[in-house]
Structure 1
Amino acid sequence: MLKNIDGIEEGKKVIIAFASGLLLAISLNIFLIPANVFASGFTGVAQIFAELTGLPTGFLLLLLNIPVAILGWKKVGKSFTFYSFVNVAFTTFFLTVIPIAPLSEDIILNSVFGGVIGGAGAGLILKWGASSGGVDILALILARKSDRPLGVYFFIMNAMIVVAAGLMFGMEEALYTLLTLYVTSRIIDAIHTRHVKLTAMVVTNKADELQSAFYRKVTRGVTRIPAKGGYTREDKEVLMIVITRYELYLLQQIIDEVDPQAFTNIVQTTGIYGMFRKDD
């Protein structure tokens, strides 16, 4: 029975990766590429290299993600990295088969709708425990090795993309690229979560089993706090764990598997001090 459930779950992830790749390709070939507006992350980097070399954007996107996928496989986790790369492969495929055919000549419409559709694609795959590859995998690796805010790394990458857009096409296109990046981030925030780090407080009577599962699969430290049910008067524990938004889906899976009756509260984490990792 458990194998059947796992098979259905894996099938759903493939379908989500397919849909996400389709949305990302539509965003690029129908809206952003015809308008000379760049997307965020490795997709934007692939667009820049495509303009410089004349090679297809999809091919360059796949090429850029191969070393990151190898690194993610070793440092992040097989499931997250595998489905992230599946999403990149679908995106590459659809970038190849969908013709570059703009619906509008209005650069503002292209920037906004490209950002909306691209953000929907990126947010959808994030919500299901994977990513659109590239920067997301690097961010998760950095999150596990550093206490520094991840927003700094995203800002640096996207700032480089905006500067490249300005140098290649002019400042007006750079500003429209900035608009696309903003719209994309807002859509991702609406679909998934705007917070890079989150705190989960899990009220459970299976604290030992959950703690072991967290150590094995999420690789995070856990703080255990004694608790008592206000209505049942039953002795329980609160497990407090800080995670990145990329690990939220995995955390939900673990809780559903180990203790479906647990009460979980996910709250925003604006800052942390101390060790945000478990050393190898």
Structure 2
Amino acid sequence: MKKKWKDLGLVSLGSFISAVGFNTMFLENRIASGGVGGLAISLNALFGWEPGTFVLLANIPLMALCFFLLGKEIFLKTVYGSWIFPIFISLTSSLPTFTNTPLLAALFGGIILGFGLGLVFLGNSSTGGTGIVVQILNKYTPLPLGLLIILVDGIIVGIGFIAFDADTVLYSIIALLSITYVVNMMMTGADSSRNLMVISQQHELIKEYITKVADRGVTELPILGGYTGKEKRMLMTAVSRPEYQSLENEILKIDETAFIVVMPASQVRGRGFSLHKNHLIEDDILIPM
């Protein structure tokens, strides 16, 4: 229940932030950065349609498709975000435009919307719209998800050529790239960690530091030196990003010649990360951290 309330809070806050960015950066600068929101901006310029109302009405048939083609579980996760986002667009429509410089609006509006959408995604939901179309096409066609996102949002941005000049559409593309970058950073950065592989003559001391001081798990692997042909030991451990630099410094204090390979780990599951540490359990496949 606590997680559900947390997800609800993330979706609500993210939808509000996205709506603020939409109204204060994109609408008056006519930046149609993809999605139903981008289409709403183009139609607002062409026919004067109120963006919040259009997004809300457009989501109704899309949510019906979501229910019948993607299933009840995805529908329930999407319905709240697709409802609250257009409501926040309408509620924040009176906010002033922060800047009338299209390039600044595209960049900073993209950051604001990307941050808001990232929160929504972290709340295990979405704001509906073309995201539903992408999910349906991904399920029923062999096309990869990334390509489908580009195609669907590209069509929305392309419609901007009917309503706006080429410069405005190019600013919309910049905004779309900004949104995508920020969302990707948030989604991978939320659980982003570092995987370290260490080869050292002092592997016993390093292993002791990792397990007893850093309080992290470590796996010891037998390896064979390709040049010397001698048998050695390699240590492998996963740590959070804030812990990484401190651990590396301590390893080099123990052995300044230690060979360290650091790789990004976008997600780590297990004790110390997705599960609580429990030093009393001895039956896990890996020693608890």
User: In the alignment, what sits opposite 1:198?
Assistant: none
User: In the alignment, what sits opposite 2:229?
Assistant: none
Between the aligned partners of 2:188 and 2:39, the Cα distance in structure 1 is 24
Q: Give SS of 1:38's match.
A: coil
User: In the alignment, what sits opposite 1:3?
Assistant: none
- Runs of 4+ aligned residues of structure 1 deviating over 6 Å after TM superposition are 260-263
User: In the alignment, what sits opposite 2:195?
Assistant: none
**Can you give the 5+ residue segments of structure 2 that lack an aligned partner in the other structure?**
190-218, 221-265, 279-283
User: In the alignment, what sits opposite 2:215?
Assistant: none
User: In the alignment, what sits opposite 1:50?
Assistant: 44
User: In the alignment, what sits opposite 2:126?
Assistant: 131
Q: Please say if residues 46 and 61 of structure 1, whose CA atoms lie closer than 8 Å, have aligned partners that are also in contact.
A: yes
| Residue 75 in structure 1 maps to residue 69 in structure 2 | yes
Equivalent residue in structure 1 for 2:22, among 28, 50, 53: 28
C-alpha deviations, 1:159-178, integer Å up to 9, x for none?
22332223322111011001
* Alignment RMSD: 3.0
User: In the alignment, what sits opposite 2:225?
Assistant: none
Q: Please say if residues 13 and 83 of structure 1, whose CA atoms lie closer than 8 Å, have aligned partners that are also in contact.
A: no
Alignment-mate amino acid for residue 119 of structure 2: L
Between the aligned partners of 1:42 and 1:167, the Cα distance in structure 2 is 16
| Pair 1:262–1:42, CA change in 2 (3 A) | farther
Q: Please say if residues 115 and 183 of structure 1, whose CA atoms lie closer than 8 Å, have aligned partners that are also in contact.
A: yes
Equivalent residue in structure 2 for 1:91, among 85, 92, 105: 85
Between the aligned partners of 2:69 and 2:2, the Cα distance in structure 1 is 26
Q: Give SS of 2:28's match.
A: coil
Percentage of matched positions with identical amino acids: 22
Q: Give SS of 2:29's match.
A: coil
User: In the alignment, what sits opposite 1:64?
Assistant: 58
For normalisation by structure 2, the TM-score amounts to 0.62
C-alpha deviations, 1:180-238, integer Å up to 9, x for none?
011011001101149xxxxxxxxxxxxxxxxxxxxxxxxxxxxxxxxxxx78xxxxxxx
For normalisation by structure 1, the TM-score amounts to 0.64
| Residue 110 in structure 1 maps to residue 105 in structure 2 | yes
CA drift at 1:80 = 3.1
Range 43-52 or range 20-29, more displaced: 43-52
1:164-203 alignment to 2 at 5 Å? 164-193=159-188
